[in-house]
Structure 1
């Protein structure tokens, strides 16, 4: 591969902290051209984080990147992911950027899928220190709102709050993955150094579905950045 050119890449996008940090750490010779998000068949919520489609579209607008949303079910996830990546490959995309940290089984799956299509996967966060990633998120100026959590493991009071050092200290004391890699909690990025505009949440409400607490954003505004 000619490293002197800007190689087109897609970013596997959840709307949360890890995919955003992966985009932030993309190689300098890589040109992210779109965000790829897998969405439930009803096209209302993302598959992994359960985020509303319109909020992910808003994020993409603030980042200045188009959002590609591929509808799927869990049973057809692999087929539809391959379908979406194949279309991007036809458009000249050669690299996929992923926010995985150390789940070996998932990395192997990604590498197999990308190999079948002829796309090279990149993992900018791979084997990085978990606590260090959270601290970097804050120090770099990213605002990650906690929008979903397992109420059997975490207190609902954290829903709707921006991830900060007190939250890091809190989860560090618990017998869970500090980064929420097993679904303990999910975040939604409102702002950061790679955002052209920022999202300001004005109102929301906490609801409970099964064992999950969710923060539903009811009112927001998009602000220009100076």
Structure 2
């Protein structure tokens, strides 16, 4: 009997990768580790500029090991592939899953990096842009709890920070021109509780940090 395929999951800590994990678990697909990029220049996650300890807390409560790829900004792809090769051996990986929905450039990058390490890339959320509103509703229905931690200043106002992804949020985001799932980086989230969590992650919201392009809500473990 052929063994089940073993997958790593590209993990930002937000709703998209959480949806992927939930879908894969429901389909009895074997997710064996989470992969998060953390540039050495910042010591935080690449995707959301989040504290690494928060990602570690997610891995602990999900009972999945987290591997941080300590990449460099000017060698990001090369560093990613190098670590994928190592993870392929240590976890006997067959593939890697990504949470991208409809951005072709993201699909191409994911497929190319996986192929360079001899792995198969899968995109369980892949869908047309018109499906995004329904996907947000699907996420809310699953019962996972997520908080908005970062927004693009050119697309949303700072009062979106700290909002829970609930039906009120869905109504408000649908009144904007943004993708309801934030596929274009309009907003980012942190998931802190839900069906696959052994226990909720106690989080504390701190100050709002402004950059040229974004507002970011600082989180810490309570």
Aligned residues: 218
Distance, in Å, in 2 between the alignment partners of 1:96 and 1:180 is 22
Aligned match of 1:206 in 192, 203, 208? 208
- Structure 2: which 5+ residue stretches go unaligned? none
CA contact (8 A) 1:40 1:47 kept: yes
Deviations 1:139-190 (A, max 9, x none): 1101111000112321212212211112222221222222111211100001
Does residue 87 of structure 1 match 2:89?
Answer: no
Alignment of 1:216 onto 2:218: yes
Deviation for aligned residue 1:42: 3.8
Q: Is contact 1:5-1:29 (8 Å) kept?
A: no
- Structure 1 residue 64 displacement after superposition: 0.7
Corresponding position of 1:134: 136
Q: How does 1:1-226 map to 2 (within 5 A)?
A: 5-26=3-24, 28-42=27-41, 44-91=43-90, 92-127=92-127, 129-220=131-222
* CA RMSD of superposed structures (Å): 1.7
1:203 Cα deviation after fit:
4.1
Long gaps (5+) in structure 1:
221-226
Contact kept in structure 2, 1:26 and 1:97, CA below 8 Å: no
- 2:213 and 2:117 map into 1 onto residues whose CA distance is 37
Q: 1-side partners of 2:164 and 2:39: how far apart?
A: 26
**Structure-2 change in CA distance of 1:204 and 1:42 (3 Å):** same
TM-score norm. by structure 1 comes to 0.90
Contact 1:143 1:163 in 2 (8 A): yes
Q: Distance in 2 between matches of 1:160 and 1:200?
A: 14
CA distance in 1 between counterparts of 2:220 and 2:82 reads 33
- Which has the larger share of strand? 1
Q: Is the 8 A contact 1:11 1:35 kept in 2?
A: yes
Q: Counterparts of 1:160 and 1:55 in 2: how far apart (Å)?
A: 16
